[in-house]
A = this chain, B = another copy of it.
């Protein structure tokens, strides 16, 4: 069976020791009340929710999935009660705006709570996560009236939110959507169209569901510049906050999917449904991106959470399963065999998963920290700097975390041999659940295009330079420390590769319009690996300072796993560099008919 204990000690290490969260929070008025006690409470209570409330519903939720009948979606047994408990505890609005009932917790902390939820039950977690992203968009772009009317019930978890973008003919290419919004005399709009792949588009967890819908006004310009955003509730809300009549929104069917079966993926039909504009006319895509970027970070964390439960389950199996003998003599001579950990290749797999997971966790907190600075810091220069980093890193987090998430679930599954392939042990579900994260919220190819186009080429590599400069500061801090030599030289080489490759990318893209697309994914992976090398070097520096005073092995193990990352995983950057060097020539040559 799957094994999961929220890695609270590791989380505290990253938050308190690596990124000194407390110092940052004290320096910003909006977060100065976030004390060590609050952090402690959130991590330990969050762990209980994940382990005791959500994990027990994960496998059963996968087995029965969501059911659809006559427009009604029924979530798996136990989901509704669990959602209620989550809402009652105030967890749905954990990062929400306090003005409307949110808890106002910093992102640095909420990313860790999200990781726990995804690890324990990804399908379930998508419901509250969508509500959180929805609320963020509403808080940023809606009128004060709309905010007052809807946000408190969103933060309390009484109502849930969705994002309605994709249509049958329009997925990655939102410019061609056909859903129409016709203005009414009273300032509202009549929305008509069909949206597909809508997570939580219909369900039985909350009394109302609010949709954020992309649609086009009759006279709006073609393409993505003519898209507006609308709030469309399932049930109208009366002035006294009670629910009124049903809007013309209905669920046409749900998808039968590879995984996340407890999450309802809906066809949602809007048949002249009444909606209200959020943000400005024709600025809908930009407004929706507030939610999208939130969800992209969150979906990255889905990959991380699943990688963590997969690791724990595989490590637990490896410790218990007896099979074969150590090559250098039996380690368990009283039994018929040694455990799987005597086999170097089993260790290679487990260490790989762990090295990616731990770097990912640190990186999630790092990006959360930049989001907090961008939002809360009194110094404008610091806010802008952080916002630039967030822009650069969001596609990396979404894509690299989810690619590694799937790979790490597969690698963990491999540790169990045949038992990894049968349903009983749970690993195969993690693989199926992790797979979607590379696809939704913008496929990972789209993320890579966003990175090379908008986040690198458009500013001539300026954001990358910021990020690499930070790393160079760290390098200079550890240059003389022989114990960190492996980290120093690994990070140094990869920074050089990034600099060279970025310059070349900018130069080549000016000459060849297909260059960026041809190298986008390789370039994203190069920056992903570099980011992880940065995180490991940061962690190693802190661990080295503590290692002599520690008899638990905690800090020593950080150094070992980090060294493994640098020696065995980071070298992929050399292959990526050569692959990127070759550009687009072989990619664009072949005629369409030959595919």
Contact = CB atoms under 8 A, between A and B. Distances in A.
| A contact face: mostly helix, strand, loop, or mixed | helix
Interface string A137-180: 00000000000000000000000000000100111110010000
Nearest to A574: B574
A579 interface: yes
A513 B337 contact: no
A184 to B, nearest CB: 28
Contacts of A275: none
Contacts of A582: 567-568
A579 B586 contact: no
Interface in A554-584: 557, 560-561, 563-564, 567-569, 571-576, 578-579, 582, 584
14 contacts: A171-B323, A171-B417, A171-B418, A173-B324, A176-B337, A328-B513, A344-B587, A345-B445, A347-B588, A417-B443, A432-B432, A553-B591, A568-B587, A574-B578
Contacts of A256: 422-424
Interface of A: 166, 169-173, 176, 196-197, 255-259, 265, 315, 318-319, 322-324, 327-328, 336-337, 339, 341, 343-351, 406, 410, 413-414, 417-418, 420-424, 428, 431-432, 435-436, 438-440, 443-445, 448-449, 513-514, 516-518, 520-522, 553, 557, 560-561, 563-564, 567-569, 571-576, 578-579, 582, 584-592, 594-595
Contacts of A445: 343, 345-346, 349, 414
Contacts of A571: 574-576, 578-579
A417 B172 contact: yes
Contact of A575 (B432, B574, B587): B574
Interface core residue of A173, A418, A564 (most chain B CB under 10 Å): A418
B432 A345 contact: no
Contacts of A327: 513-514, 516-517
Contacts of A323: 170-173, 176
